[in-house]
Structures are given as C-alpha cells and as structure tokens.
Structure 1
C-alpha cells in the first residue's frame, strides 16, 4: 500500500506551478496538454461532441487555468490535470446547454426566412433597399463574414479558418448573429418611412 502512495505524485504547490508557468510557459502547458487532453477528448466524444469541440473546450479551460495561476488567484486542492478536466467538463456542459437552446437546424431555418431583397420591387412606400449599404454599416468582421458567405459563396470551413474560429459551428453562429444585425437594421429602415 505504501508503494502505491509513493508512485502517485502529489499535486504540485500552486506557487511552484506559477513559477513553472512563468519560467517556461510552453513546456509546462505542453506537458499539461499531453497528460490531460485525452481525458477531455474522451469526455466530449462520449457526450456527442467532436475532437474539434474537445480542442476548443480544452483551449478555453487552459486560458482560464493559466490566467488564474499566473495572477495568483488559483489555489489547487487537486492536481492541475484534475482541475483542467473539471473546468472542461463544466465548459462542455455549458456548450451542450447552449446548443440545446439554439440547435444548428434553427440557424438554417432563420436564413430561409430572410426576404430576398434583390427581387423586391421598388415602390414609394417601400424604397429599393441597397443591402450593401446596410452591410457597410455593420462592423468589419460582420461585413467580411456575410460577403464571404453570401456574395463570394465561400464555404464556412474557409470562413472559420480566415477568422480564426475554433470550429465551423463558431463561424455559423457568428454568421447568424451578423445576419440578425443586418435584418434588424433593414427592419428599422423600413419602419422609419411609415412612422412619418
């Protein structure tokens, strides 16, 4: 029994871990990644995620871990790997809850509901809409995403890579948010003439 206790390393002190991170961040985080990521990947895959989802969750957890450790706000009562797995489980549960509230199929349905302004006839009560004018009023990132997808017909995989998103789903959600901002701006513009 004593031998098994001696083989199991004790969790490093938080101050020692902080010193390791400050001295050689890359090496310390790489070690943590190699030891911990397989457990996180298994957890995410067993609960309907992908390896990319696991990487995204682990990266977020690693940022939280690093910032808390370096700032001195983290007090470990377990090994760093156990702490990271716990944070990842929590983050994955949050992601699953978010996905259940807004399933991917709803994003596609919302796009179908967007009227086709190119075919809308110009009348005095509903002036011809220059959609690009409204797109130009969006932020630079939204402009890029919407034009890339709708005008240049780039695949979401390419848009995700160009904008440094962790997954295609992140790019899809961002595209949907930008589309909603565009729709809101157009609705407000259409409401203004009738309010006069």
Structure 2
C-alpha cells in the first residue's frame, strides 16, 4: 500500500488503519525519543501530534508522499521532537513568568519545516547522480579522505570543489522554486 492510502485513512479516521500505523511505527519513534532525552509520554505526545499534523495537512493541501508512509511519519516525528528539544533550550526559567507557546504556532512551524524538507528532497532529486552521491556523503559527515576512497576523485581539493559546486547547484534550484520565499525564515 502506498503512503496516500494511509493519508486518506487518517483523514477518514479509520481506526483499523490508525491502529496498524501505531503497531508498525510507534516503537521506532519511541526508541528515537528515549535515546534523545525524552520519555514514553513524550513519545506518545509527539506521535499523536505528528499524526494529527499529517492528517490536517493532507485534508488542507492534499499532500502526496514520494517515500514510504513509515519514513515520512518518522521524519515528521523527528522534526517535532527536535523542535521540542530546541524550544526547551531557549526558554529561560523564571518562576514568576510562565511562557505559553501557542499550539497553533508550533504546528505552523512544524508544517513549514516539513515543507522545507520536502522542497529540499525534491530539488535533490533534480541534480545529477554524482552530485547526489557526493552530497549524501558530505551531509553524512563522511571525511573528504573517505570520499576519495569511495569515488574516482584523486584529491581532497577536487572533492571540496565538487561538494561546493553541487551545493551551489542545489541551493540555486531551491532558490529558483516558487515555494522558496514562502518557506524562508523571517
């Protein structure tokens, strides 16, 4: 079954499919959150927020998933959890002032971040296979020396130049897309 089957089931509230989504995906999300300073309750909250966010976006925008639904859901959960961790870092503790973060504002940020990632992945598909390979190694923090070993390049200087050119090509494609301005940070 493709990802759109699950999207439609979420919007319809199909309890059998939602249960299947939980059975298949929750353990992985819980493991990720437990390994990253969270607890089971955090994992449940993030998983529920992610499902709600996906359903709302699909109902509103009719999103289409190019990857597996499981991968898409995990990415949304990861992004929500990272944003949650970052918001805790930036809060100053003061017992007299209680900061309340709007749920709608938080969801809007999550949606924008997800759309940014989708734009990035879409543009990554438009660059050459060689650039995809080089950038995937670079983004995975593989050293230039290791990249030389796995490719036909002969020196770190050549690899650096190739990474620079590929990043520039990817950046240019992203900036040329009509969605770019609406997804920029204000």
Q: TM-score range by the shorter chain?
A: 0.3 to 0.5
TM-score (norm 2): 0.47
TM-score w.r.t. the length of structure 1 is 0.45
Higher-Rg member (1/2):
1
